[in-house]
Chain A
Amino acid sequence: EVQLVESGGGLVQPGGSLRLSCAASGFTFSYHWMTWVRQAPGKGLEWVASINQDGSGNYFVDSVRGRFTISRDNAKNSLYLQMNSLRAEDTAVYYCARHVTYDYADWGQGSLVTVSS
Protein backbone atom coordinates (compact mmCIF):
# COMPACT_ATOMS: atom_id res chain seq x y z
CA GLU A 1 0.00 0.00 0.00
CA VAL A 2 1.33 3.39 -1.02
CA GLN A 3 1.79 5.77 1.91
CA LEU A 4 2.89 9.39 1.85
CA VAL A 5 3.27 11.13 5.20
CA GLU A 6 4.04 14.85 5.37
CA SER A 7 5.59 16.57 8.36
CA GLY A 8 7.24 19.84 9.28
CA GLY A 9 4.33 22.24 9.02
CA GLY A 10 3.53 24.88 11.60
CA LEU A 11 3.32 28.57 12.37
CA VAL A 12 6.05 30.83 11.00
CA GLN A 13 6.44 34.58 10.80
CA PRO A 14 6.47 36.41 7.47
CA GLY A 15 9.96 36.29 6.01
CA GLY A 16 10.73 33.08 7.87
CA SER A 17 11.64 29.61 6.65
CA LEU A 18 10.22 26.14 7.01
CA ARG A 19 11.14 22.71 5.65
CA LEU A 20 8.48 20.16 4.84
CA SER A 21 9.23 16.46 4.56
CA CYS A 22 7.30 13.64 2.94
CA ALA A 23 8.11 10.06 3.89
CA ALA A 24 7.17 7.57 1.20
CA SER A 25 6.57 3.83 1.42
CA GLY A 26 4.83 1.04 -0.46
CA PHE A 27 6.40 1.75 -3.85
CA THR A 28 9.81 2.19 -5.46
CA PHE A 29 10.33 5.84 -4.65
CA SER A 30 13.23 6.37 -7.06
CA TYR A 31 11.06 5.41 -10.04
CA HIS A 32 8.61 8.28 -9.71
CA TRP A 33 8.40 12.01 -10.18
CA MET A 34 7.09 13.67 -7.04
CA THR A 35 5.16 16.89 -6.57
CA TRP A 36 4.01 19.34 -3.91
CA VAL A 37 0.47 20.73 -4.24
CA ARG A 38 -0.99 23.29 -1.83
CA GLN A 39 -4.47 24.40 -0.84
CA ALA A 40 -5.07 27.71 0.88
CA PRO A 41 -7.89 27.70 3.47
CA GLY A 42 -11.23 27.45 1.68
CA LYS A 43 -9.55 27.64 -1.73
CA GLY A 44 -8.65 25.31 -4.57
CA LEU A 45 -5.62 23.20 -5.34
CA GLU A 46 -2.43 24.77 -6.70
CA TRP A 47 0.56 22.98 -8.21
CA VAL A 48 3.68 24.21 -6.40
CA ALA A 49 6.73 22.18 -7.46
CA SER A 50 7.81 18.92 -9.05
CA ILE A 51 11.03 16.93 -9.13
CA ASN A 52 12.13 14.15 -11.45
CA GLN A 53 13.31 10.71 -10.44
CA ASP A 54 16.95 11.46 -9.70
CA GLY A 55 16.47 15.03 -8.53
CA SER A 56 18.29 16.57 -11.49
CA GLY A 57 15.23 18.47 -12.64
CA ASN A 58 12.98 20.62 -10.50
CA TYR A 59 10.17 22.88 -11.54
CA PHE A 60 8.14 25.56 -9.78
CA VAL A 61 5.06 27.71 -10.11
CA ASP A 62 6.06 31.34 -10.75
CA SER A 63 4.87 32.56 -7.35
CA VAL A 64 7.39 30.45 -5.41
CA ARG A 65 10.32 30.25 -7.83
CA GLY A 66 13.45 31.59 -6.17
CA ARG A 67 11.98 31.19 -2.67
CA PHE A 68 11.20 27.45 -2.52
CA THR A 69 13.48 24.50 -3.20
CA ILE A 70 12.33 20.94 -3.86
CA SER A 71 14.67 18.02 -3.24
CA ARG A 72 14.64 14.31 -2.58
CA ASP A 73 16.71 11.60 -0.94
CA ASN A 74 16.05 8.33 -2.73
CA ALA A 75 18.06 6.39 -0.14
CA LYS A 76 15.67 7.62 2.54
CA ASN A 77 12.52 7.50 0.38
CA SER A 78 11.91 11.12 1.26
CA LEU A 79 10.79 14.29 -0.49
CA TYR A 80 11.43 17.78 0.83
CA LEU A 81 10.23 21.33 0.30
CA GLN A 82 12.42 24.10 1.67
CA MET A 83 10.39 27.27 1.93
CA ASN A 84 12.17 30.60 2.44
CA SER A 85 10.99 34.21 2.54
CA LEU A 86 7.51 33.01 3.44
CA ARG A 87 4.54 35.28 2.86
CA ALA A 88 1.01 35.32 4.21
CA GLU A 89 -0.23 34.04 0.85
CA ASP A 90 1.84 30.88 1.30
CA THR A 91 -0.50 29.83 4.11
CA ALA A 92 -1.97 26.50 3.00
CA VAL A 93 -2.14 22.78 3.49
CA TYR A 94 0.76 21.30 1.55
CA TYR A 95 0.31 17.86 0.02
CA CYS A 96 2.99 15.63 -1.46
CA ALA A 97 1.86 13.49 -4.36
CA ARG A 98 3.26 10.62 -6.39
CA HIS A 99 3.20 10.83 -10.15
CA VAL A 100 2.08 8.04 -12.40
CA THR A 101 2.73 9.37 -15.91
CA TYR A 102 1.37 12.93 -15.79
CA ASP A 103 -1.18 12.40 -13.01
CA TYR A 104 -1.07 12.42 -9.22
CA ALA A 105 -1.96 8.86 -8.33
CA ASP A 106 -1.43 9.08 -4.58
CA TRP A 107 -1.51 11.89 -2.04
CA GLY A 108 -0.43 12.38 1.54
CA GLN A 109 -2.74 13.68 4.24
CA GLY A 110 -1.25 17.17 4.08
CA SER A 111 0.72 19.46 6.38
CA LEU A 112 -0.58 22.89 7.39
CA VAL A 113 1.72 25.87 7.03
CA THR A 114 0.54 29.13 8.58
CA VAL A 115 2.46 32.33 7.88
CA SER A 116 1.46 35.00 10.37
CA SER A 117 2.93 37.43 12.84
Chain B
Amino acid sequence: QSALTQPPSASGSPGQSVTISCTGTSSDVGGYNYVSWYQQHPGKAPKLMISEVSKRPSGVPDRFSGSKSGNMASLTVSGLQPEDEADYYCCSYAGSNSWVFGGGTKLTVL
Protein backbone atom coordinates (compact mmCIF):
# COMPACT_ATOMS: atom_id res chain seq x y z
CA GLN B 1 0.00 0.00 0.00
CA SER B 2 2.70 2.50 -1.00
CA ALA B 3 1.51 5.90 -2.18
CA LEU B 4 1.50 6.64 -5.89
CA THR B 5 4.21 9.06 -7.01
CA GLN B 6 3.26 12.55 -8.18
CA PRO B 7 5.48 15.60 -8.70
CA PRO B 8 5.10 17.97 -5.73
CA SER B 9 4.45 20.95 -7.96
CA ALA B 10 3.52 22.00 -11.46
CA SER B 11 2.87 25.37 -13.03
CA GLY B 12 1.76 27.11 -16.16
CA SER B 13 0.56 30.46 -17.42
CA PRO B 14 -3.08 31.18 -18.22
CA GLY B 15 -4.04 29.56 -21.48
CA GLN B 16 -1.20 27.06 -21.42
CA SER B 17 -1.44 23.32 -20.88
CA VAL B 18 0.08 21.38 -18.01
CA THR B 19 0.32 17.63 -17.42
CA ILE B 20 0.61 15.99 -14.03
CA SER B 21 1.94 12.45 -13.82
CA CYS B 22 1.01 9.69 -11.40
CA THR B 23 3.28 6.66 -11.24
CA GLY B 24 2.35 3.40 -9.61
CA THR B 25 2.98 -0.28 -10.16
CA SER B 26 1.43 -3.21 -11.96
CA SER B 27 -0.53 -3.88 -8.75
CA ASP B 28 -2.41 -0.61 -8.92
CA VAL B 29 -2.23 1.88 -11.80
CA GLY B 30 -0.98 -0.66 -14.31
CA GLY B 31 -3.33 -3.41 -13.22
CA TYR B 32 -6.68 -1.68 -13.41
CA ASN B 33 -8.42 1.02 -15.44
CA TYR B 34 -9.65 2.60 -12.22
CA VAL B 35 -7.53 5.71 -11.86
CA SER B 36 -9.30 8.85 -10.72
CA TRP B 37 -8.19 12.44 -10.19
CA TYR B 38 -9.36 14.88 -7.53
CA GLN B 39 -9.03 18.65 -7.28
CA GLN B 40 -8.78 20.23 -3.84
CA HIS B 41 -8.81 23.94 -3.13
CA PRO B 42 -7.45 25.12 0.25
CA GLY B 43 -9.78 24.31 3.10
CA LYS B 44 -12.23 22.51 0.83
CA ALA B 45 -13.21 18.91 0.23
CA PRO B 46 -11.76 17.11 -2.78
CA LYS B 47 -13.76 17.09 -6.02
CA LEU B 48 -13.78 14.28 -8.57
CA MET B 49 -12.41 15.55 -11.90
CA ILE B 50 -11.60 12.35 -13.81
CA SER B 51 -12.89 8.82 -13.24
CA GLU B 52 -11.83 5.48 -14.70
CA VAL B 53 -8.65 6.94 -16.26
CA SER B 54 -10.31 9.29 -18.72
CA LYS B 55 -14.01 9.87 -18.00
CA ARG B 56 -15.16 13.36 -17.10
CA PRO B 57 -18.06 13.57 -14.65
CA SER B 58 -20.91 15.89 -15.51
CA GLY B 59 -19.98 19.51 -14.90
CA VAL B 60 -16.22 19.10 -15.21
CA PRO B 61 -14.83 21.33 -17.99
CA ASP B 62 -13.50 19.52 -21.03
CA ARG B 63 -10.19 21.29 -20.42
CA PHE B 64 -9.48 18.41 -18.04
CA SER B 65 -8.45 15.09 -19.55
CA GLY B 66 -6.88 11.88 -18.31
CA SER B 67 -4.87 9.06 -19.80
CA LYS B 68 -2.79 6.05 -18.81
CA SER B 69 0.13 4.14 -20.22
CA GLY B 70 1.51 1.17 -18.36
CA ASN B 71 2.06 2.06 -14.72
CA MET B 72 1.71 5.80 -15.24
CA ALA B 73 -1.43 7.88 -15.42
CA SER B 74 -1.61 11.53 -16.41
CA LEU B 75 -3.93 14.47 -15.92
CA THR B 76 -3.76 17.24 -18.50
CA VAL B 77 -5.28 20.65 -17.93
CA SER B 78 -5.54 22.63 -21.15
CA GLY B 79 -6.23 26.34 -21.44
CA LEU B 80 -5.23 26.96 -17.81
CA GLN B 81 -7.46 29.32 -15.89
CA PRO B 82 -6.80 31.00 -12.54
CA GLU B 83 -9.42 28.86 -10.81
CA ASP B 84 -7.50 25.73 -11.76
CA GLU B 85 -4.89 26.60 -9.15
CA ALA B 86 -5.32 23.86 -6.55
CA ASP B 87 -3.90 20.58 -5.29
CA TYR B 88 -4.49 17.55 -7.49
CA TYR B 89 -4.47 13.94 -6.30
CA CYS B 90 -4.54 10.74 -8.29
CA CYS B 91 -6.06 7.59 -6.85
CA SER B 92 -5.99 4.01 -8.06
CA TYR B 93 -7.80 0.85 -7.15
CA ALA B 94 -5.14 -1.53 -5.82
CA GLY B 95 -7.03 -4.80 -5.69
CA SER B 96 -8.57 -6.69 -2.76
CA ASN B 97 -10.95 -3.79 -2.13
CA SER B 98 -8.21 -1.30 -1.36
CA TRP B 99 -7.26 2.03 -2.85
CA VAL B 100 -4.12 4.16 -2.89
CA PHE B 101 -3.68 7.90 -3.41
CA GLY B 102 -0.79 9.86 -4.81
CA GLY B 103 1.06 12.36 -2.67
CA GLY B 104 -0.55 15.30 -4.45
CA THR B 105 0.62 18.00 -6.85
CA LYS B 106 0.26 21.70 -6.20
CA LEU B 107 -0.69 23.38 -9.47
CA THR B 108 0.20 27.06 -9.70
CA VAL B 109 -1.22 29.30 -12.40
CA LEU B 110 1.45 31.91 -12.96
Residues on A facing B (Cβ under 8 Å)? 35, 37, 44-47, 50, 57, 59, 61-62, 95, 100-110
What would be 14 A-B contacts, judged by CB atoms less than 8 Å apart?
A35-B99, A37-B101, A44-B103, A45-B38, A45-B89, A47-B98, A50-B99, A101-B52, A102-B52, A102-B93, A104-B36, A105-B48, A106-B48, A109-B45
B18: which A residues are within 8 A, CB to CB?
none
B45: which A residues are within 8 A, CB to CB?
95, 107-110
Taking a contact as CB atoms closer than 8 A, the residue among A35, A46, A105 that contacts B57 in the complex is A105
Kindly state whether residue B30 has any CB partner on chain A within 8 Å.
Answer: no
Q: A101-B51, A103-B34, A103-B48 are in contact. List 14 more A-B contacts (CB 8 A).
A: A37-B46, A44-B3, A44-B104, A45-B104, A47-B91, A59-B97, A59-B98, A61-B98, A100-B51, A103-B52, A105-B57, A107-B45, A108-B45, A110-B45
